[in-house]
Amino acid sequence: MNCTRNRLPASTSHLNQRILHLKNGSGPTKVNDALQLFDEMLQRQPPPSIIQINQLMTLIVKMKQYSTALSLFKRVNMMGIPSDLYAINISINCHCRLNQVAYGFALLATLFKQGYPPDLTTYNTLINGLVLADRVFEAVELFKKLLIEKLCDPDQFMYGSVINGLCKAGHTIKAYELLRYMESGSCKPVVQYNTVIDSLCKDKMVDHALQLFTNMTEKGVLADVITYSSLIQGLCNFGRETEAARMLMDMEGKGVSPSVVTFNILVDSFCKKGSVKDAELAVQAMVRRGLNPDVITYSALIDGYCLRGEIDEAEKVLDGMVEKELVPNIITYNSLINGYCKKKRIGKAMRLFQEIQHKGNPAAARELFNEMQAKGHTPTVLTYGILFHGMCKNSQTTDALALFRSLGSNELMKNIVLYNILIDGCNKCGKPNLALDLYDELLLIGLKPTVRTYNAVIRVYCQEGLLGKGTELLRKMEENGCLPDSFTYNIIVRELLKKNEPGEAEILLEEMINRGFMPDHATFENLLVRIPNVGKDSRLRTIVLKLTSVERKDGKISNITSPC
């Protein structure tokens, strides 16, 4: 019980144990476990230390839950627990990861105001944030400023971020020069060699990369699995497989074991060359070494089969990964969708797109959608419909509406089907007013409501207790030339029965039955609940008897044609 727990003193060692347990644990519930622990922590008296909070926050950040971490920090602040430099640095990092560097710099200002001098980590995080936002020029400027004004003494991390930024921006030579500058100073490069070696390989300067590899070894810096993996990829990409194989043996000889990433590079390389058989052999080899193929391994294989047009084989790989409880991501699906499109199986591709939503991965679906658009695959009403439906199903009505609004001038948006999806979605996400606004809007722009529109709006009225408006619309739709269907009647009758209005329910029940519609499961339940309370000669009872007897006779509903 919560109240019992509140009275317990905060057991620091117990909390630390649970944090440690989470740190080493894994599995699909990890995020939830961390959040639950956080809730429990905040309920304790005395409150947890900022160190414990920071530790847990670090875990949440490692799981890439940046927005969550930020809102948790807000709660911590509101509880009056003062944050420290660590907490603020973690927050700055979260903003940077969310592509909100500006907020990161705003927190830097807060630091100054609160009298905490920002430290090396603060600056490193911001420089890295600028790099992540592709603002490498500004990152370099900040770095220079810090150096010139002697605001801090750059360390491995700072050099690492700047060198990485230069490489990502295509300035490998500048990165190389900075690496040389490091060598001349007191902070000697280590992983920075890897960054530059990898970048040289990607810039087709594999021989220069090999040269730098020799250099670093001569300087006594040990090459690690990342150095070798980058070189192996560089060699493979330019048809130098024999040398790549030699490199693989070389690393093993030096006691550096290939990792999952190393194998993934090999698997992908084989796949791109069309030899999926060799890729499969590489996968077998990694498994023999006790390395578990991951989503990237499987995605590379799937893409390999799709490139060859062997979509059935690709599907088998997908099944295999799902069996291993690996979750396919946007890249996996993209390969498959491309595979289907190549085989002109558009229907299948579209179904897969739909499936992504049902698997509860709306972010992936949205990403795929954005790419479809970027690549010039013009989305159709169907595409938008699938997307909006999926977003609404995952309580992302706000995002769905925002997307809908952003396309406002598009003629495609003046589509009743999209309005239907959004009205229903808003209502089911607890936003009935938005749903009704959408209904007004579609009438205003001259769209003709369909039976689905009316049903959705009637559902809103019913849920908001406006039964009168619901029945009114039922009458009005028919006047407008749109006949109610089974859903329309069921929505209203069910609600009338719930609200104990048997008279009105009787009229509509008879009407619907006359028109050949049957009460659905939910309506029938409400109907049966009412039976014991109505008189022997009531029409409601007669209706139920009639319904059940007809069903008993031949099980067909179409036989109910005569009025009760």
How far apart are the C-alpha atoms of 463 and 486, rounded to whole Å?
A: 18
How far apart are the C-alpha atoms of 255 and 225, rounded to whole Å?
A: 10
Q: Is the dihedral of CA 168, 172, 175, 180 positive or negative?
A: positive
CB 494 within 8 A of CB 502: no
Task: Classify residue 8 by its DSSP letter.
Answer: S
CB of residue 421 to DNA, shortest distance in Å: 24
How far apart are the C-alpha atoms of 146 and 139, rounded to whole Å?
A: 11
Nearer to DNA, 62 or 476 (CB): 62
CB of residue 318 to DNA, shortest distance in Å: 12
Task: Classify residue 221 by its DSSP letter.
Answer: P
CB of residue 334 to DNA, shortest distance in Å: 4
Using CA atoms of 299, 305, 307, 309 in order, give the dihedral in degrees to the nearest 10: -140
Ordered DSSP codes for 384-431: HHHHHHHHHHTT-HHHHHHHHHHTTT-GGG--HHHHHHHHHHHHHTT-
Contacts of 147 (CB under 8 A, 6+ apart): 154
245 token code pair: 């194989």
Total residues belonging to the chain:
564
CB 304 within 8 A of CB 276: yes
CB of residue 413 to DNA, shortest distance in Å: 25
The gap between the terminal CA atoms of the chain, to the nearest Å, is: 56
Nearer to DNA, 57 or 456 (CB): 57
CB of residue 370 to DNA, shortest distance in Å: 9
CB of residue 238 to DNA, shortest distance in Å: 14
247 token code pair: 């490199």
Nearer to DNA, 34 or 540 (CB): 34
Nearer to DNA, 128 or 427 (CB): 128
Q: What residue spans of 66-205 are helical by DSSP H?
A: 66-78, 85-97, 101-113, 120-132, 136-148, 156-168, 172-184, 191-202
CB of residue 380 to DNA, shortest distance in Å: 19
Nearer to DNA, 25 or 516 (CB): 25
- Find, among 152, 170, 103, the residue nearest to 130 by Cα: 103
Q: Which residue ranges make up the site for DNA (CB under 7 A)?
A: 16, 50-51, 54-55, 58, 61-62, 84-87, 89-90, 93, 119-122, 124-125, 128, 155-161, 164, 190-192, 194-195, 198, 202, 224-227, 229-230, 233, 259-262, 264-265, 268, 272, 294-296, 299-300, 303, 329-332, 334-335, 338, 367-368, 371
How far apart are the C-alpha atoms of 563 and 301, rounded to whole Å?
A: 64
Ordered DSSP codes for 424-472: HHHHHTT-HHHHHHHHHHHHHTTPPP-HHHHHHHHHHHHHTT-HHHHHH
CB of residue 270 to DNA, shortest distance in Å: 11
Using CA atoms of 424, 425, 427, 428 in order, give the dihedral in degrees to the nearest 10: 110
Nearer to DNA, 344 or 375 (CB): 375
CB of residue 388 to DNA, shortest distance in Å: 20
Nearer to DNA, 265 or 512 (CB): 265
CB of residue 269 to DNA, shortest distance in Å: 9
Nearer to DNA, 299 or 453 (CB): 299
Nearer to DNA, 334 or 397 (CB): 334
Nearer to DNA, 271 or 527 (CB): 271
CB of residue 378 to DNA, shortest distance in Å: 17
CB of residue 126 to DNA, shortest distance in Å: 10
CB 124 within 8 A of CB 161: yes
272 token code pair: 């791109």
Q: Which residue type does 352 have?
A: L
CB 166 within 8 A of CB 178: yes
Contacts of 241 (CB under 8 A, 6+ apart): 235
What distance separates the 2 farthest-apart alpha carbons in the chain?
102
Q: What residue spans of 464-530 are helical by DSSP H?
A: 467-479, 486-498, 502-514, 521-530
CB of residue 201 to DNA, shortest distance in Å: 9
Nearer to DNA, 294 or 437 (CB): 294
Nearer to DNA, 54 or 357 (CB): 54
Nearer to DNA, 365 or 460 (CB): 365
